[in-house]
A and B are shown apart, each in its own frame.
Chain A
Amino acid sequence: MILAIDSAIGTAVAVVDARGTVLAECSSADTRGHAEAVGRLIVEALAAAGTSADRVGAVAVGMGPGPFTGLRVGIAAARVFALARAVPLLPVRSHDAVALAAGGGPLVVTSDARRREHYWTAYSGLDADGLPAVAAGPGLSRLDELDDELGALAGLPRLAAEAVPAADLGRIAARRLAAGLASPPLEALYLRSPDVTPSSGPKRVTA
């Protein structure tokens, strides 16, 4: 049983079995209330799947890209859940789940990065293991500059993600396990540096 958690856009939690069958999926579209939502969604997903925390065998987690404040909540929850149950943590790119839900591509997944920018990842289709194959990205760009960023891939269909389906996140993790593939050692995909510049020294207070 795989517990899948993603907070790259809203908050989404799913439970899938080892074959990738989706047993439960619960989500909140709120793009600000991740810390509020994550606990209730985990409890509801486990209950809807007719299972309990002690029967979770792995935790899949969406690593973004996503706006940082929310993204961290799901990653923190997933890491701690996996540690507490002593089960493997399986990081997955959040856009991969969006691509799988859309059939794998070829396509370009985009999602809102705020400040008039978007995250994007280009996919060439599903590989032999049924996993979305990344052709380029993930990256961060203004929408009107995305064609230049994509170059030869600019003609691919675009899919603007409104949510990350945790069920597909779980299916990707299940397919990787079934194929004997290790999960990539992903860190949180912020794709932006902290918004701060080193101080240039104190401002004068006297004229």
Chain B
Amino acid sequence: MSAPRASAIPAEPVVIRDATTDDLAAIMAIEHASFPTDAWSESTMGAELADPNGRYVVAVVARHGGDRVVGYAGLRAPRGAEQGDVQTIAVHAEHRGGGIGRTLLGTLLTEAAARGVGEVLLEVRADNPVARALYAAHGFTEIAVRPRYYQPDGVDAVVMRAAAPFERVGAPIVLGIETSCDETGIGIVRGRELLANVIASSMDEHARYGGVVPEVAARAHLEALTPALERAVAEAGIRLDDIDAVAVTNGPGLAGALMVGVGAAKALAIALDRPLYAVNHLVGHVGADVLSEEGALEMPTVALLVSGGHTSLLLVRDLIDDVELLGETIDDAAGEAFDKVARLLGLPYPGGPWIDRAAADGDPTAIRFPRGLTAPKDRERHRWDFSFSGLKTAVARRVEQDADAGREIPVADIAAGFREAVVDVLTAKAVDACLELGVPRLLLGGGVVANARLREVAAQRCAAAGIALRIPPLSLCTDNGAMIAALGAQLVAAGRVPSGLDFGADSTLPVTVVQTL
């Protein structure tokens, strides 16, 4: 068994947040109930909560007009210290058995890793087999016994120890399901390690319509889903029963397409009795980078996500906690513009690779096409937004003028000029955002990253501006299940509570909602 499993899907969502002194009374009530003979005093607990050398978190159940504390945990780990200590973990008796203790411990270990400690120690009552099993499942081993440590009961303390890297301790195997557009993606990861990434695309079925048809895509998802699931499990060399958690895209995307994945993911989680995480598709694109062999992405980072359905510029301060939308397209997505311009030029679908091919023989400076939302008047309202509709219309005008005049349409020059305009505005705004926000890191994601010219210009401009550029492998840039699994694994590793069973597909899910509870 690779990781602790949260088998119970909680009846009410439980959330972990930092403890404050306002929580002291609620914490003390649980403390006294849990440790009737040797509870800490209120002043000791209050000092612990306030101590910057530690971190205390509470598990809370949302209530109208506030929340109610149902558990708490504390870590002592001065920054730079070699050793950290789990000071306490307690869960209200009515809420035990639902995985809250495990979640709290996961949060503490993530914090210990963030503080750079090399090992974490704790003491546990010898007569508490449930707690000892929980710690053992998180990689703690018993290293010593302190006789009659707990007084007045005279119970021994067992000292347990876990060594860094903690996120490797029982890295969870997570299966991710992605059906937000026209790719049925099933991915499997173990923590940050990619085990399988199966993608079934219905792209060919959309070719005759010149763009993704939502109903065609959704029908294809239904037929592709179980075969893709079987292939992914075989590719990963595991059994479905080895999976520790299921993650699924619940938005943004095409509603009918998303629903197929949501229905499937819920059934999978219930059938296997595993926790389920509903995650944001766009944040998934950023999450793909955690599978990179170059090591963890440094935060904060700016992320530029460009696909047939999205063109978004994000500021990611924390992958699972703090994602901000800087700007996005106000009309067509960049990939959609490639498809539409390809049609204008008589090129097949999808447009990206065909425009690339045509542009290879063209002069990108021969025809100057407009750069949307770059004029001074747009800088105030649309500083980081994109617009490709005017560009597409400009191409259409040019094609019509040439056709009406009986001139040969300069396909290569138009393709090159159009592509240059798209790439210019995408990379200029992304690099500007990095410079203005003082964030010298840029991550690219989305299917349009397959465009070599985009990668080339991004690399040149980032190098010139001293910005570190990250581009995940193409199979992780296009829509895929592995990125959803990777983001899910981050949530599991951080001790996040699973999503409930009542979420639906949200076609306009904001990027700030990383996980839907």
Binary contact readout A63-75 vs B (1 if CB under 8 angstroms, 0 otherwise): 0000011001111
Q: Which residues of A contact B255 (CB under 8 A)?
A: 69
Q: Which residues of B contact A206 (CB under 8 A)?
A: 396-397, 400-401, 404
B61 within 8 A of A: no
Q: Which residues of B contact A72 (CB under 8 A)?
A: 218-219, 221-222, 256, 259-260, 263
Q: Are A84's CB and B268's CB within 8 A?
A: yes
Q: Which residues of B contact A52 (CB under 8 A)?
A: 273
What is the CB-to-nearest-CB distance from A156 to chain B, in angstroms, rounded to a whole number? 32
Q: Which residues of B contact A81 (CB under 8 A)?
A: 267-268, 270-271
Q: Given the complex of chains A and B, what is the CA–CA distance between A76 and B220 in angstroms?
A: 11
B264 within 8 A of A: yes
Q: Which residues of A contact B504 (CB under 8 A)?
A: 33, 35-36
Q: Which residues of A contact B272 (CB under 8 A)?
A: 53, 84
Residues of A in contact with B, size category: 35 or more
User: Which parts of A53-106 form the interface with B (CB within 8 Å)?
Assistant: 53-54, 56, 68-69, 72-81, 83-85
Q: Are B501's CB and A199's CB within 8 A?
A: no
| With A68-B215, A195-B215, A199-B343 as contacts: A53 and B259 at CB distance below 8 Å | no
What is the CB-to-nearest-CB distance from A164 to chain B, in angstroms, rounded to a whole number? 16
What is the CB-to-nearest-CB distance from B104 to chain A, in angstroms, rounded to a whole number? 25
B452 within 8 A of A: no
Q: Are B267's CB and A69's CB within 8 A?
A: no
Interface of A is mostly: helix
Q: Given the complex of chains A and B, what is the CA–CA distance between A201 and B259 in angstroms?
A: 31
Closest to A7 in B: B263
Q: Are B213's CB and A73's CB within 8 A?
A: no
User: Which parts of A18-55 form the interface with B (CB within 8 Å)?
Assistant: 33-36, 38-40, 42-43, 46, 52-54
| With A43-B501, A199-B210, A205-B397 as contacts: A34 and B259 at CB distance below 8 Å | yes
Jot down 30 A-B pairs with beta carbons below 8 A, ordered by A. A33-B504, A34-B259, A35-B504, A39-B266, A43-B9, A46-B270, A52-B273, A54-B273, A69-B255, A69-B256, A69-B259, A72-B218, A75-B222, A76-B225, A76-B264, A83-B240, A188-B219, A190-B219, A194-B219, A195-B215, A196-B216, A198-B210, A199-B209, A199-B210, A201-B343, A202-B340, A204-B396, A205-B393, A206-B396, A206-B400
Q: B residues near A, CB below 8 A?
A: 9, 208-210, 213, 215-216, 218-219, 221-222, 225-226, 229-230, 240, 255-256, 258-273, 276, 340, 343-344, 393, 396-397, 400-401, 404, 501-505
Q: Which 6 A-B pairs have the closest CB atoms?
A: A39-B266, A77-B267, A84-B271, A73-B263, A39-B501, A194-B215
Q: A residues near B, CB below 8 A?
A: 7, 33-36, 38-40, 42-43, 46, 52-54, 56, 68-69, 72-81, 83-85, 188, 190, 194-196, 198-199, 201-202, 204-206
